[in-house]
Amino acid sequence: MANPLTPDVLVDPVVLTRALVDIESVSRNEKAIADCVEEVLRKAPYLSVGRLGNTVMARTDLGREQRVVLAGHLDTVPINNNFPSTVVDDLIYGCGTSDMKSGAALALHLAATLPDPGYDITYLFYEAEEIESRYNGLALVAEAHPEWLRAEFAVLLEPTYGVVEAGCQGTLRALVRTHGRRAHTARAWRGVNAIHAAGEVLRRLQDYRPRTVTIDGCTYREGLNAVRIAGGVAGNVVPDECVVEVNMRFAPDRTEEQAFEHVREVFEGFELERTDSAPGALPGLTAAPAREFLAAVGSEPAAKLGWTDVARFAALGIPALNYGPGDPLLAHGPDEHVEIGKIRDGAATLHRWLAAPSF
Amino acid sequence: MANPLTPDVLVDPVVLTRALVDIESVSRNEKAIADCVEEVLRKAPYLSVGRLGNTVMARTDLGREQRVVLAGHLDTVPINNNFPSTVVDDLIYGCGTSDMKSGAALALHLAATLPDPGYDITYLFYEAEEIESRYNGLALVAEAHPEWLRAEFAVLLEPTYGVVEAGCQGTLRALVRTHGRRAHTARAWRGVNAIHAAGEVLRRLQDYRPRTVTIDGCTYREGLNAVRIAGGVAGNVVPDECVVEVNMRFAPDRTEEQAFEHVREVFEGFELERTDSAPGALPGLTAAPAREFLAAVGSEPAAKLGWTDVARFAALGIPALNYGPGDPLLAHGPDEHVEIGKIRDGAATLHRWLAAPSF
């Protein structure tokens, strides 16, 4: 197959978005698109290129004082009668248009057209973001080539509809267990009902007032919720166990440990087992490249409440944020699309930031 | 096969118990034992005999003022390395020894040896008590031949270890549902958590103080228990439904309707759905034959808290109680056994009651 990412295509981020969408790349099938991207990057004399699986890295080494990362994943969720792309008025429809080939197109467009940026730039086009964490290209790079991620600041081009979404909240799941003693319900007083005992767990959840925390101008709203409850042996048996699964979403000023300590305090007196957790990420908007970036965007940042790959950068001590032309509400849906104007705005903003002669 | 229930066997309720145990009769396989029992009963000139499926009825028609029923089921739970019977000291081991071939042996022994009782007696040996209600021989008789059950009083020879257990409690199951609105847990404030809302349901259950009711000297203890709880959509979703299944055990002074009304009051404000119920049975110990029976036993009656077939008699307006030589705690277990002394005591008590010249 001839590489569709020709120089004519690379100079126009809108045309490039369509070209990337039209290379099918459902998770675990990213080889074709990664090959095309790698070939393009290797043609740029000012980039050095690396590859790990179907993740492609390219970087400038211009001796700038600061280095920034622009990152986007190449994979999509499964196609849903939305391949290849179509254009209706100023909208491009198709699988991955929003999440996140329009974002990846911005990075690839810059890589191909910006030989002399104000910061050194590391471009990362990675695989398998939409599936289990163990396949995630960014996670694999962090393990195999952590030096590829070294930078003062990172932008993930995930869909944010042109808004800067900074940091992310952490998430923690735990099981709260109550115990009792089985008995026939005809002689219930011989038993202890573990489901009744879970009433106090639910009461504490209902009474819980989550914190709202503002960091670097971003407001995070925490939450603590029961996401599952189960108990019962049979229709005539006083049950001896009840399990409540809770999910805490915590602002990035708490570590996972601190969040778990907090949950432990809430459920003091109950058996508690942490089942999984992922750290949040501080918005980190005080670093110089971040401030320059915000100035280029020209609008206030918002807090990212869900968990995203920016936490992988945060875990390495690198401030990171999400900024992309796609609409997150359209991601993964059958009518996924992206506004052509948002792609052009995004390209202009990133050019303003990275090509600026001011630094 | 020669009928093992010979005259020599029938005169001794202990020997007869072993003989009945040694005719295998797991539920739905009662033909052989019913054939043997029917043949014995048809040989007694003072009995008229009927049969429905594998249920056998025999009755005297001596023109007595009152009629009593002696009833026992012929089936057992599945064999569990406990067939045929064995004797160790004064214990008979084997499937059905306690539940309830020792009780059935008492009735068959009386039928074969008591031509001239003080009451007219209806003997019922019925099938399929241990399985689904639709196969229950007593239920089938109540539908097809209700006249077979007409009497002033009934004794079920279920295992009670020689104690009179009178009446039975009713049972009712219902679902209490709470509703909410789904949302991503990262934006939990947009949702309403249905599991949290179930906390109030559990609080009411925990605060609930069940009644204790004494009727005819029998003390019934009610109970209201959650027997199952379920809710949850996924680990990151605020759940929109939670279901609590409750089981109410109610004293026989309440009807099923009254019991449901009571449960409805307890959970006022919540969606409630009754899933099943069965009425209780009043002890009915004031009828003349019941008073004579209690005098013959010579000990105080206790309330039956579980649900038993006495409720089927109660539904027909016939006071009924449980009284049998087996130990209910051994029923259905692999080491099921019966004390020979309890069989002899039971036979003597029933003789005292039914052969008494006083009436």
Torsion angle in degrees (nearest 10) through CA of B266, B271, B273, B279: 10
- Among A343-357, B47-61, B138-152, B266-280, name the one with the lowest average pLDDT: A343-357
Average pLDDT over residues A256-264: 98
Does A205 sit within 8 Å of B249, measured CB to CB? no
What pLDDT is recorded for position B38?
Answer: 98
Q: Do residues A144 and A60 both lie within one domain?
A: yes
- Among A255-264, A329-338, B192-201, name the one with the lowest average pLDDT: A329-338
Which backbone phi and psi does B252 adopt, to 5 degrees?
Answer: -75, 5
Q: Final residue of a domain: which of B247, B278, B309?
A: B278
Does A186 sit within 8 Å of B249, measured CB to CB? yes
Kindly state the tokens that stand for B126. Answer: 């019925």
Does B234 sit within 8 Å of A226, measured CB to CB? no
Q: Per 3-state DSSP, what percentage of chain A is helix, strand, and coil (rounded to 5)?
A: 35, 30, 40
For residue B236, the chain A residues in CB contact (below 8 A) are 171, 227, 247
Q: Do residues A19 and A124 both lie within one domain?
A: yes
Residue A2 lies in a domain: no
Average pLDDT over residues B311-332: 89
Look at the block and give the residue holding tokens 């043609």: A43
A91-93 and A86-88 beta bridge pairing: antiparallel
Q: Do residues A142 and A22 both lie within one domain?
A: yes
- pLDDT(A32) > 70: yes
Residue A1 lies in a domain: no
Which backbone phi and psi does A81 adopt, to 5 degrees?
Answer: 55, 30
B43-83 residue pLDDT tens: 999 999 999 999 999 999 999 999 999 999 999 999 989 99
A211-230 residue pLDDT tens: 999 998 889 999 999 999 99
- pLDDT(B265) > 60: yes
Residue B157 lies in a domain: yes
User: What's the length of chain A?
Assistant: 359
Q: Give yes or no for a contact between B238 and B264, defined as CB atoms under 8 angstroms apart.
A: no
Average pLDDT over residues B296-301: 89
Distance CA B38, CA B57 (A): 8
Q: Final residue of a domain: which of B257, B278, B299?
A: B278
Q: Do residues A174 and A245 both lie within one domain?
A: yes
Q: Give yes or no for a contact between B244 and B208, defined as CB atoms under 8 angstroms apart.
A: no
Kindly state the tokens that stand for A341. Answer: 């104007």
Distance CA B278, CA B307 (A): 8
Residue A159 lies in a domain: yes
Q: Do residues A136 and A14 both lie within one domain?
A: yes
Domain that holds residue A274: 170-278
What pLDDT is recorded for position B343?
Answer: 98
Q: Final residue of a domain: which of B278, B306, B334?
A: B278
For residue B241, the chain A residues in CB contact (below 8 A) are none
Q: Do residues B13 and B131 both lie within one domain?
A: yes
Q: Do residues A315 and A185 both lie within one domain?
A: no
Higher pLDDT, B246 or B306: B246
Distance CA A296, CA B72 (A): 90
Distance CA B208, CA B2 (A): 59
Suggest the residue from A177, A187, A228 to mutate for an interface test with chain B (most B CBs closer than 10 A): A228
Higher pLDDT, B105 or A302: B105
Residue B82 lies in a domain: yes
Does A227 sit within 8 Å of B206, measured CB to CB? no
Q: Is B253 a catalytic residue?
A: no
Does A186 sit within 8 Å of B306, measured CB to CB? yes
| Average model confidence (pLDDT) across chain A | 94
What pLDDT is recorded for position A356?
Answer: 59
Q: How far is B334 from chain A (nearest CA, A)?
A: 20
Does A235 sit within 8 Å of B232, measured CB to CB? no
- Among B56-70, B270-284, B336-350, name the one with the lowest average pLDDT: B270-284
- pLDDT(A82) > 90: yes
Q: How far is B288 from chain A (nearest CA, A)?
A: 29
Q: How far is B300 from chain A (nearest CA, A)?
A: 20
What pLDDT is recorded for position A359?
Answer: 46
CA distances B213 to B35, B166, B208, B260, Å, are 44, 13, 16, 18
- pLDDT(B121) > 60: yes
Average pLDDT over residues B190-206: 96
Is residue B224 left, alpha or beta, with left meaning phi > 0 and alpha meaning psi from -120 to 50? beta
Does B185 sit within 8 Å of A247, measured CB to CB? yes
For residue A236, the chain B residues in CB contact (below 8 A) are 171, 227, 247
Of B186, B206, B221, the CB nearest to A305: B186
Q: How far is A271 from chain B (nearest CA, A)?
A: 18
Of B173, B203, B228, the CB nearest to A231: B228
Contacts of B261 (CB under 8 A, 6+ apart): none
Distance CA A178, CA A194 (A): 5
Which backbone phi and psi does B307 adopt, to 5 degrees?
Answer: -95, 130
Look at the block and give the residue holding tokens 């600061």: A66
Closest alpha carbon to B235 in B185, B291, B294: B185
CA distances A19 to A37, A160, B10, B335, Å, are 11, 21, 95, 76
Q: Do residues A24 and A89 both lie within one domain?
A: yes
CATH number at residue A54: 3.40.630.10
A130 alpha carbon, distance to own chain's centre = 10
Q: Do residues A29 and A162 both lie within one domain?
A: yes
Residue B1 lies in a domain: no
pLDDT band at B356 (very low <50, low <70, confident <90, very high): low
Beta bridge partners of B122: B59, B69
- pLDDT(B359) > 60: no
Higher pLDDT, B333 or B345: B345
Residue B2 lies in a domain: no
Closest alpha carbon to B185 in A52, A206, A221: A221
Q: Do residues A140 and A237 both lie within one domain?
A: no
For residue A199, the chain B residues in CB contact (below 8 A) are 199, 201-203, 205-206
What pLDDT is recorded for position A235?
Answer: 87
Contacts of B47 (CB under 8 A, 6+ apart): B41, B58, B59, B60, B111, B123
Distance CA B193, CA B183 (A): 9
Closest alpha carbon to A303 in A289, A285, A330, A291: A285
- pLDDT(A234) > 90: no
Does B187 sit within 8 Å of A202, measured CB to CB? no
Residue B107 CB burial class (10 angstroms; 0-12, 13-18, ≥19): buried
Suggest the residue from B173, B178, B185, B276 to mutate for an interface test with chain A (most A CBs closer than 10 A): B185
Q: Is B75 a catalytic residue?
A: yes
Q: Do residues A313 and A265 both lie within one domain?
A: no
Distance CA A48, CA B327 (A): 86
Q: How far is A53 from chain B (nearest CA, A)?
A: 30
Residue B81 lies in a domain: yes
What domain count does chain A have?
2
Compute the count of residue pairs across chains A and B with CB atoms less than 8 Å apart: 153
Distance CA B136, CA B130 (A): 8
Q: How far is A333 from chain B (nearest CA, A)?
A: 16
Suggest the residue from A227, A267, A270, A308 to mutate for an interface test with chain B (most B CBs closer than 10 A): A227
What pLDDT is recorded for position A338?
Answer: 98
Q: Do residues A295 and A147 both lie within one domain?
A: yes
Suggest the residue from B168, B175, B195 to mutate for an interface test with chain A (most A CBs closer than 10 A): B195
- pLDDT(A200) > 80: yes
CATH number at residue A268: 3.30.70.360
| Average model confidence (pLDDT) across chain B | 94
pLDDT band at B358 (very low <50, low <70, confident <90, very high): very low
pTM assigned to the model? 0.76
B320-322 and A237-238 beta bridge pairing: unpaired
What pLDDT is recorded for position A358?
Answer: 47
Catalytic pick among B75, B165, B256, B309: B75
Does A196 sit within 8 Å of B199, measured CB to CB? no
Higher pLDDT, A286 or B352: B352
Distance CA A326, CA A102 (A): 7
Does A189 sit within 8 Å of B169, measured CB to CB? no
Q: Give yes or no for a contact between A161 and A322, defined as CB atoms under 8 angstroms apart.
A: no
